[in-house]
């Protein structure tokens, strides 16, 4: 009887030790997780609590960017301009100029809607920044088109995006390009956009905002999802444009190719056999051949 009681006590001791160990592990794990979570929070708070500094007071070589804005690498202070955080600081291809967005408080009733985001340009070695553009919080971003031109993009509705093209050296009146889903030609001389609202298709504009090519088709009844599968791709040398688009009166896709130098003359048209959504259009490096799934087209012969 004593042996049985002794055995039960031993078992209870083992179970107690095991449970204590499990509880300790779980507690440590919870502590470790809490520490990780706390460190992340502290990191964010630290970034905000390190203070801030005006962009004119820091070296542009000592900056870093993240989703919260621009920071000085050495001190981790956030970069401000006119007491507002900046973002999307980008240098020109040569590095001689740079630009950035000043992001104002959109909840400040004293700030007009069209002055919530300000775009500035400046010379890398200078401290003077030109105010080039101002717009609403719908401003989505900007880029250097080349050393002398910048483009700022903003949304204005369902099928409405505006690309404002500025001369970086002498910014004045912008050329305005209206459409959706912009894609520049490789030589940066033309811009392609997609159409969806009143019909489906694509259009091409020059840098003055003038339409130089347009193909749109009416939606069929019953509606076909193929109408939303339009794909257009520039050739590497910017001399050709190919297009995969739904045929207007058939539930099929077709492949079209255009010679840009000859006024967008159509140089190929053919149905796409066994169309599969998601297939990429690929060009050969010399812009003579184009590939789409099983379809191979030699445009040098057309």
Of the listed ranges 13-27, 67-81, 241-255, the one predicted with least confidence: 13-27
Residue 204 DSSP code: E
Residue 136 pLDDT more than 80? yes
Closest CA to 153 of 187, 184, 186, 177: 177
More confident: 155 or 133: 133
pLDDT exceeds cutoff 90 at 242? yes
Tokens of 37: 């979570």
CA distances from 259 to 91, 211, 242, 263 (A): 35, 16, 9, 7
pLDDT in tens, 78-118: 999 999 999 999 999 999 999 999 999 988 889 988 899 99
User: What pLDDT is stored for residue 265 in this prediction?
Assistant: 96
pLDDT of residue 190: 95
Predicted pLDDT at 121: 96
Give me the pLDDT at residue 50, please: 62
Spell out the residues 6+ positions from residue 54 whose beta carbon is closer than 8 angstroms to its own: 79, 80, 81
Q: Residue 44 pLDDT > 80, yes or no? A: no
The count of other CB atoms within 10 Å of the CB of residue 236 is 14
Q: What is the per-residue burial (b if ≥16 Cβ within 10 Å, else e) of 213-228?
A: bebebeeeeeebebbe
pLDDT: is 228 or 12 the higher one? 228
pLDDT at 73 over 80: yes
Q: Does the pLDDT value for residue 295 go beyond 50?
A: yes
For 278-286, what is the mean pLDDT?
A: 89
Q: What is the pLDDT at residue 123?
A: 93
Query: Cα-Cα-Cα-Cα dihedral of 118, 123, 124, 130, to 10°?
Result: -20
| 168 closest CA partner among 187, 191, 145 | 145
- Residue 51: predicted pLDDT: 87
Q: Is the pLDDT of residue 206 over 60?
A: yes
Tell whether the model's pLDDT for residue 222 goes beyond 60.
yes
Q: Which residue has the tokens 């542009």?
A: 60
Confidence grade of residue 33 (pLDDT, cut at 50, 70, 90): very low
16 or 273, higher pLDDT: 273
Radius of gyration for the chain, computed over Cα atoms and rounded to the nearest angstrom? 30
Partnered with residue 111 across adjacent β-strands are none
Q: Does 250 score more than 60 pLDDT?
A: yes
Please compute the mean of the pLDDT values over residues 42-67 and round it to a whole number: 74
- Terminal CA-CA length for the chain: 103
Residue 20 has pLDDT above 80, yes or no: no
Does position 177 have pLDDT exceeding 80, yes or no? yes
Whole-number Å distance between alpha carbons of 206 and 191? 6
Complete edge-to-edge strand list for the sheet that includes strand 160-167: 139-146, 149-157, 160-167, 175-179
- The residue-averaged pLDDT of 245-249 equals 91
Instruction: Answer whether residue 43 shows pLDDT above 60.
Output: no
Per 3-state DSSP, the chain is made up of helix, strand and coil in percentages (nearest 5) of: 20, 45, 35
């Amino acid at each position: 009887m004593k042996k049985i009681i002794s055995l039960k006590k031993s078992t209870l001791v083992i179970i107690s030790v095991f449970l204590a160990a499990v509880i300790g592990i779980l507690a440590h794990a919870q502590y470790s997780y809490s520490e990780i979570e706390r460190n992340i929070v502290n990191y964010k708070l630290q970034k905000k609590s390190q203070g801030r500094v005006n962009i004119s007071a820091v070296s542009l070589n000592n900056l870093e960017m993240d989703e919260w804005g621009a920071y000085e690498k050495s001190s981790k202070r956030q970069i401000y301009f006119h007491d507002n955080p900046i973002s999307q600081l980008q240098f020109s291809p040569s590095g001689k100029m740079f630009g950035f967005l000043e992001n104002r408080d959109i909840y400040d009733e004293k700030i007009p809607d069209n002055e919530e985001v300000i775009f500035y340009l400046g010379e890398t070695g200078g401290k003077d920044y030109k105010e080039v553009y101002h717009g609403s919080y719908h401003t989505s971003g900007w880029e250097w088109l080349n050393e002398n031109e910048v483009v700022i993009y903003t949304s204005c509705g369902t099928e409405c995006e505006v690309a404002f093209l500025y001369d970086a050296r002498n910014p004045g009146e912008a050329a305005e390009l209206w459409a959706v889903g912009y894609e520049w030609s490789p030589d940066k001389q033309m811009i392609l956009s997609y159409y969806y609202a009143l019909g489906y298709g694509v259009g091409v504009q020059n840098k003055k905002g003038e339409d130089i090519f347009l193909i749109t088709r009416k939606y069929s009844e019953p509606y076909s999802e193929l109408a939303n599968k339009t794909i257009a791709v520039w050739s590497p040398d910017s001399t050709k444009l190919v297009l995969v688009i739904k045929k207007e009166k058939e539930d099929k896709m077709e492949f079209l190719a255009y010679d840009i130098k000859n006024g967008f003359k159509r140089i190929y048209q053919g149905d796409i056999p066994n169309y599969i959504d998601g297939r990429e259009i690929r060009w050969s490096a010399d812009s003579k051949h184009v590939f789409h799934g099983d379809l191979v087209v030699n445009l040098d012969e057309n």
